[in-house]
A and B are shown apart, each in its own frame.
Chain A
Amino acid sequence: MFLKSRKLQYSLAINEALDQMMSADKFLILLGQGVRSPWYVGNTTQGLFKKFGSRRVIDTPVSENAITGVAVGAAIAGIRSIVVHPRMDFMLYAADPIINQAANWHYMFGGASSVPMVIWAIINRGREQAAQHSQALQAIFTHIPGLKVVAPSNPYDAKGLFISAIKEDNPVLYLDNRWLYEIEGDVPEEIYAVPIGKGKTIRKGKDVTIAASSYMVWEAKKAVNELVKEGINPELIDLRSLKPLDSELLFLSVKKTGRLVVVDEGWQTCGVAAEISALVGENIFASLQAPIRRITLPDSPAPASSALEGVYYPKAKDICEAVRKILKI
């Protein structure tokens, strides 16, 4: 189907999506803090400033609210825009243009106008960065009607979902994670789309469904490898999109396995994992043979000290323990 694939880093897969889409659409703009600097965005934007110039690759002052609003306004006026927030924590300054304006815009004008934009938020966890440099705030935005939220885990999806997000006529929150940037995988050279709202079964199994997204897919993969050694046969789903959620894929899997462990990189209370658990409980309760388990961050701000970080971020072993517990092993 694809002409040619080769190994590419996750961050360079994003870079290729941006490069190819900016070449294809001469009005597509990228703006935000640090789009010229690897300090902020790794190598995701390398070469873009030189190739597309300062009119379309706009490095901005530290004004998240106005800059995001500018991206919204540009999209309303007919040019697609991508605004990057190199640390999602700072994006809270832009809650108004994202939530009040972009997400509501199409609805509150009865379809007379729309906001084709990508809000690209980077999660930067660990490394003793503490509470304001490492937050995974996807639950806040997944909660909002009118926003779509994607969280790719691998280079193939990183490129394909970015392309879909750019082509989408609604605002899309594209969420990635610095911990993923060096992961390599097969990426087709041409422009291709990974559909928003479609998950993917990474491993078929029958004992338990593990559903994860973004970086946590990799912890879940490690967990699966351990569990298989113990004779357990888990099914692993990469959700890829948090909204719309591929509930069809999820329900089919849970109906088969009867058990669910949801893994999310956000907090527990009112989080994405809570929403997924509720959906399964409401719709296919009778299929469940055991209580649903959530693997999330504890309800605590991120600590600085690595001694505390060690217990703060959930890992493969936490997923394994949850699986063993509901399988009563």
Chain B
Amino acid sequence: MKYSKLFLKQLYRTMLRIRLCEESLVEPIIKGEMKGPVHLYTGEEAIATGVCAALSRKDYVFGTHRSHGHYLAKGGTLQKLIAEIYGKETGCSKGRGGSMHIIDPEKGMLGAAPIVAGTISLAVGAALASKIKGEQRVSVSFFGDGATGEGVLYESLNFAALKKLPVIFACENNLYSTHLPIRECRPGKHIFGIGIPFGIMSFQVDGNDVLKVYETTKKAVEICKKNRGPVFIEFMTYRLRGHVGADDNVQGTHTDIRPKEEIARWRKKDPIMKFERFLLKKKIFKKEELERIKKKLKDELQDAHIFAKNSPYPNPEELKKYVFKK
């Protein structure tokens, strides 16, 4: 095995932390304790985990509406994330952003925002800043397959390629642009091909295989650091819940119109189950060890929820406090 047990444990723990976090939000969403739009990352954990494992702390990440995973994988804390989703002053954005606006600049998570494709050019700009400062930082732009419908993606690919910027375009292809199958949004099956006309090195990998995600990203980081960036990677994956909320079906709105058989098929490719099977089969971990990790994470999550619930709401007198930096 070319990976240390510690490294594999970290991957497993990060994926599971994201999964358990996302699943712990289901009840508060259904109960209405979390009121804003929450887009769960369940099923896509291997991507954030594998990508961020290939980055160093100083590297940058920009996210989307579905970025809890990116935030946690880059080192953000559960307490600040959950408090933010509850709209509390102790949240990572002091309750001003909610689930779709999460950030941890010290960990290189430079921000998530829900305008589709809206943060792609920002990630390119951060890569430009790194290049001008000579800092050797790589900048990752996470976006979904739906973002391929936005013109700014192509403008960004062109400019990044033109200036050879150290940016990784990380497309999480979960096959749906909200409700519409991506095959009905664009001609051609493979998204990663869009980088090729710009001379961008482009890859497609199984986004549910955390080691493959890690290895491809590691390669992309090296390419960027050799000044041969940018790199485009398409990660094939699937949402195991609806577009928004706990699950469109669970909420009773029945807006998740994806075929049930398709969902069932992808459940079998669950990235965490897949990795667990691998770790057990290779006898790297015993079942009890994995159970212990899970138990610890559950405790951590429970603490985070208690912390968030007990935290104060923002002071109404401070409504306009952050409009401008003083």
**A→B interface (CB under 8 Å):** 27, 29, 55-56, 58, 60-61, 63, 65-79, 81, 96-97, 100-101, 105-114, 145-146, 148, 169-170
Contact = CB atoms under 8 A, between A and B. Distances in A.
Nearest to A116: B325
B260 interface: no
A113 to B, nearest CB: 6
A66 B124 contact: yes
Contact of A63 (B91, B97, B111, B155): B155
B95 A70 contact: no
A100 B120 contact: no
B68 to A, nearest CB: 15
Interface of B: 60, 62, 91-97, 101, 103-105, 110-111, 113, 115, 118-133, 139, 151-152, 155-156, 158-159, 162-163, 321-325
Contacts of B122: 69-70, 72-73, 76, 97, 101
A170 B322 contact: no
Contact of B125 (A27, A77, A113): A77
Contacts of B91: 110
A65 B111 contact: no
A79 B128 CA distance: 9
15 contacts: A29-B132, A55-B131, A70-B128, A73-B122, A73-B127, A74-B128, A75-B125, A78-B133, A79-B129, A81-B125, A100-B115, A108-B93, A110-B92, A113-B105, A170-B325
Contact of A114 (B60, B127, B155, B325): B325
B158 A61 contact: yes
A61 B133 contact: no
Contact of A113 (B103, B132, B162, B321): B103
B93 A112 contact: yes
Contact of A146 (B113, B125, B324): B324
Contacts of B60: 77
Given A77-B110, A79-B129, A108 B97 contact: yes
Contacts of B93: 108-110, 112
A55 B96 contact: no
B129 A73 contact: yes
A71 to B, nearest CB: 6
B155 A76 contact: no
A17 B230 CA distance: 34
Nearest to B97: A108
A145 B94 CA distance: 18
B121 A72 contact: yes
A105 B120 CA distance: 15
Given A60-B159, A66-B152, A107 B115 contact: no
Nearest to B153: A66
A152 B113 CA distance: 33
A96 B115 contact: yes
Nearest to B318: A110
Contacts of B121: 65-70, 72-73, 97
A75 B322 CA distance: 17
Contact of A170 (B123, B126, B133, B324): B324
A66 B105 contact: no
A124 to B, nearest CB: 23
Given A70-B125, A77-B110, A111 B322 contact: yes
Given A75-B125, A106-B322, A110-B93, A56 B159 contact: no
A73 B61 CA distance: 11
A108 B125 contact: no
B295 to A, nearest CB: 32
Contacts of B95: 110
Given A77-B125, A96-B118, A97-B121, A108 B96 contact: yes
Nearest to A102: B122
A169 B126 CA distance: 17
B156 A69 contact: yes
Nearest to B62: A73
A74 B129 contact: yes
Given A73-B62, A77-B125, 7 more contacts: A70-B156, A73-B125, A79-B132, A101-B122, A109-B93, A110-B96, A111-B325
B94 A71 contact: no
Contact of B159 (A66, A72, A96): A66
User: Considering the complex of A and B, which 5 residue pairs feature the smallest CB-CB distances, nearest first?
Assistant: A73-B125, A69-B121, A110-B94, A66-B155, A73-B122
A146 B121 CA distance: 20
B325 A71 contact: no
A96 B130 CA distance: 23
Contacts of B158: 61, 63, 66
A170 B94 CA distance: 19
Nearest to A66: B155
A146 B151 contact: no
Most B Cβ at <10 Å: residue of A67, A97, A106, A112? A112
Nearest to A103: B323
A12 B174 CA distance: 52
A52 to B, nearest CB: 11
B324 A110 contact: no
A146 B104 CA distance: 21
Contacts of A65: 121, 151-152, 155
A112 B129 contact: no
A60 B162 CA distance: 10
B36 to A, nearest CB: 12
A106 B125 contact: no
A329 B20 CA distance: 77
Given A61-B162, A72-B125, A101-B119, A110 B132 contact: no
B195 to A, nearest CB: 15
A97 B62 CA distance: 14
A167 B56 CA distance: 31
Contact of A66 (B104, B110, B113, B156): B156
A96 B152 contact: yes
